[in-house]
Structure 1
């Protein structure tokens, strides 16, 4: 059980730190109860530790002390204080979440089993899924979303398929943008620094007839990591419009576009340096009726589209002929990789109070996914995957102290058929500010199109003149799979404690959990024989395939602590320890799964605002040694310290701010791979509200 976490693998020092951290958490919990009785000296700060109300866990508005799962809220103050310019970096602030970069624009975000392609975390923007079925990942740099437009982010730390279906496997991220009426007037924001960093945002919000609107245009550029072709040039624009039709009904419309180039490749002869051209856009419409505090109906439709296009010439090289000292020349060829992904999604949701003390959220959705990827799927046909869902989540307030939550999702998709994903929890308020949560949930992860139907072969010319043969075009396999994969399955049991000492500005969130995962889909390397005309025996090339080969158990402890000793000062701690045990037919696969989860992830954000308008913040982030999946490499423990200093002032009677951000004040460390060295990055920022 999770109590085995008291002794983690590693040095004695690390074991002692783990034990002390756990004991400290329990001591703080006990102290909270005692101090709550005796009273405090800073009662005017009670607002700093009120349990935030979230919508993403059960689709019902609930304080975090009454949700059926652990949740972290990243608010605007945290976003600003962190100094992060990339949205994925914000999840370094979430206990147990790993963030790394395969290259300068391809982020890896995971809550366990970090993988370049298959994130196992559902990501929503205003309730619209941006999880792509081809690769099973989120293309973070391609999202039509400016960080300045984010109101808050709700992160469910654990399976939440009961609310959002398959692929809500190890967590759900719901990014919520600001209502357009909250951003009246203009905004100019710029930043510039080393690594050719240059960002800019222009925004204007106003009212036209009965519509509130916000128009945002933004660009981001940088050169990525040293000595790599991984630069990015991003241009995006978003429009949001909201209209209140009458006392109960409202309309919400959004549009977004993201375009530009990303530098990719350069690792080997078959992966030459090139530019990838990106076009990504979406439209979203939502009708909402709020007839009362517990009476709400909504219908939402969205259409998302992403295309990428890259052309490059491979570098000639020689392939060895087995059991001979000879080789055959592989000539250069032009590769044209075009992929297009499209999604239509229609969702209905109804929230209502059926009986006294009982609230219920129910609904359903239909989704159509269309993917065109001849380079990876080996067909010119468009792959279609349709999905239908029905869901229901109920909250029964048995008494002022006892709350029961239960929910389930039934869904059917064309790849793996039908499945249920249930969840149940009990929340008990020991005292008004101290809650125990016990829950269990199940979830599935559907195989991606690449995992299920990979048929990625390079058509390369082979020079056979030495054998008296003409040049032949040979199909060299890279990723091959014949289908038939089962979905991954997870069962999670957890015990949580949430406590707060309002008079001392302190809140505590502890989560003890066990994940039992089976049918883990693994990528493995095989030898693929290729017949070449004129040769008596085939030539073997290394290629990759996928199979269900993994069973693992993860025991974990997550701690989230927020302390506000005074109104303008906050300390936000995120700490996670895990112990992973894995089994597989292939012992190498079992070792890879076990090493992929860092045993320890730590974050600490400290921020303080002075009365003269000066804001100062420090962020410390640490990840223990690990070996991420999907092109990741073995890395030692990395540590990073960021700093931000900003000064607010008036410029021509308008609010302005000038600041400087320094990322990684210490020595360089490696992100995801050995050749991704993250050294010091410094940039200045300027912000003007018009």
Structure 2
């Protein structure tokens, strides 16, 4: 197999067919090298094109419901959130998210803006998910997993495709994909779409209080091209954007009125690969991304005091990321394989609301990474890898991993691996200074970075079993793991001392009779609260305690040509919080069991039916979230292909959440809406 097409940057056009369509699956994300899941040093789930189509999902975050242990939730006040094995909140940033190898997590909070990602499900070839820490390959923030969204290579398709989905309550999703001819000097694809949906209504509770609602309209455009500069050199280009408007707010609320928020994301991705042989290549890639949020309404903050006062706040947000990376891999001899690389990155954010400045904040990051695989005997592969990095907010970090893959047969193996991974503090956690002013004076404080945070750390060990039993049409993946977390970054309420007009500071009572914890830093200059004789509260970030997570998970993927396919995933999770953990809800942030089942049934006359079943036990989303009860979701899709035998034409009816609305993210506030829609895909 041509390894040049397996570098993480972008699969080459020449090798795309080999990498993505072999009978034996090949994964790219576990170690930055193309390899069979049998040989990978980490557990990897593949959501392939057939699963994407059969699921009926039109949003990328929903596809992760098919991954063992992954938790997905929508909420109406921000982008959907995804977590692995718990610890999730509204802006969860403990899973690294990439599109064709480029990081798309926000520099601001570390989360991924899932709905606004500049790529559509129709453009995705497959998604590879590393179900555990993978800092050895990707450094800080590949903390609880890695999601690599791999788009369809331009060389794999040609012609024109039109896609249209229309459903109830104003839902629509229209897209077009145009590809160049297969014999051209440049393989290219241009795709675009517009979609809209109402994700949350605002049901009135028994006391008459209304809850937030959300509706969105998003446009996405992507262009991808690749060309062979020479027999050994390939150049690849990707660029695109996502642009849309969210209508958010609470009916009748003064502090959260209904208004429109605009969002735009742009990216450029260039990669050059030089191939030196079948298993030796060099890749150089650069990418730039930017995100801009512009609320159409002005945020309103309560300033406190004996009478509630309101202040208008500038909440515009701009972020950028520039990344340059190189990677070289080669086989030294039949028993040794090596990969080495380096990268530099600069991230920036501008937000007057969160940082109390009109200026732009920057963070810089440099890393070197590598791995060495040794096969001393036919049945054993030993992989040692790691990433050393230097980060403005975390200092020097080293994330190592050691993995042993023991072949039980040509189709199965045991994996024993362990290592260390880190999560670096974000720009928000490191520099936040949220202040509210009136007549030039600071009247109240919000989130503040009052101390230098240490990066979160996890030490992990896992035992895995992988079997690819081609004769039976059966793939098995079993994993048990133990993860020990330290220095968990959390947010807590703290109290600022009373400050008089003449600057006199009255410290909090050292006996703390009301249980008020003092903030770890004095308020900024110019702080003059309305209540000058009483302490005022704000919030701060801090490292909080340690805890242990244990779990087991498995997936069974069985298929028979002409009959269909069954994909079953199950995870069991337990979290045990130790001393010093500020938020005891960490223990219930993971459901004890998570189940997903996708059944695909081939029917006569080119009909196909699929059923998706998703179950979570009771759990609690942290911070802005709350308890959600045990819940079941069932999706149905019936489709029929038509036209020439190899055409992509299809008509389908999809029903999502056929049981109706269900609690999502916060049982008392949010109910996810069901959806029924028809879809038509035509190709020429």
TM-score normalised over the length of structure 1: 0.86
Residue 521 of structure 2 aligns with which residue? Answer: none
Cα deviation, residue 399, structure 1: 1.9
- Quote the residue 2:248 is aligned against: 264
Q: Aligned in 2, Cα 1:622/1:529: closer, same or farther, shift over 3 Å?
A: farther
Report how far residue 248 of structure 1 moved. 1.2
Equivalent of residue 302 in structure 1, options 272, 283, 287: 287
1:582-625 deviation per Cα after TM superposition (whole angstroms, max 9, x unaligned): 12435xx3421111111111100000222411110000001111
Say whether residues 1:493 and 2:493 are aligned partners: no
Give 1:244's match in structure 2, choosing from 223, 228, 234.
228
Question: Which range moves more in the overlay, 472-481 or 59-68?
Answer: 472-481
Q: Could you tell me which residue of structure 2 aligns to residue 658 of structure 1?
A: 651
Aligned partners of 2:383 and 2:402 also within 8 Å: yes
Counterpart CA distance in 2 for 1:423 and 1:64 is 17
| Alignment-derived partner of residue 172 in structure 1 | 146
Aligned 8 A contact 1:584 1:590 in 2: no
Does the CA contact (< 8 Å) of 2:82 and 2:92 recur in 1? no
Relative distance call for 1:260 and 1:353 in structure 2 (3 A) is same
Q: Which runs of 4+ in 1 moved over 6 A?
A: 315-318, 532-536, 651-654
- Of 394-403 and 253-262, more deviation after overlay is shown by 394-403
Alignment of 1:16-415 (within 5 A): 51-103=24-76, 106-112=79-85, 113-207=87-181, 210-227=185-202, 228-266=212-250, 269-313=254-298, 319=304, 321=305, 327-331=306-310, 333-415=311-393
For this pair of structures, how many residues does the alignment match? Answer: 625
Q: Deviations over 1:648-671 (max 9, x none)?
A: 112999752111111112243211
Q: Assess if the C-alpha contact under 8 Å between 1:49 and 1:500 holds in 2.
A: no
RMSD: 2.4
Structure 2 residue aligned with 1:39: none
What's the CA shift for 1:313? 4.4
Q: Is the 8 A contact 2:97 2:112 kept in 1?
A: yes
1:340-377 CA deviation, whole Å, 9 max, x = no partner? 11111100000101122211111100111111112111
Q: How does the TM-score come out when normalised to structure 2?
A: 0.87
Residue 426 to residue 313, structure 1, CA distance change in 2 (3 Å): closer
Structure 2 CA distance for aligned equivalents of residues 567 and 420 of structure 1: 49
Q: 1:200 to 1:236 in 2, by over 3 A?
A: same
1:416 to 394, 414, 421: 394
> Could you tell me which residue of structure 2 aligns to residue 623 of structure 1?
616
Structure 2 unaligned runs (5+)? Answer: 1-19, 203-211, 502-528
Change (3 A) 1:318 1:127: closer
- The answer as to whether partners of 1:108 and 1:119 remain within 8 angstroms in 2 is no
Identify which range, 58-67 or 666-675, moves more after superposition: 666-675
CA distance in structure 2 between the aligned counterparts of 1:556 and 1:653, rounded to whole angstroms: 43
Q: Deviations over 1:192-220 (max 9, x none)?
A: 11232111101100149621110111111
1:36 paired residue number:
none
Instruction: Give the structure with the larger helix fraction.
Output: 1
In 1, the alpha carbon distance for the partners of 2:77 and 2:308 equals: 33
Distance 2:188 2:28 in 1: 23
Residue 452 of structure 1, CA deviation: 1.6
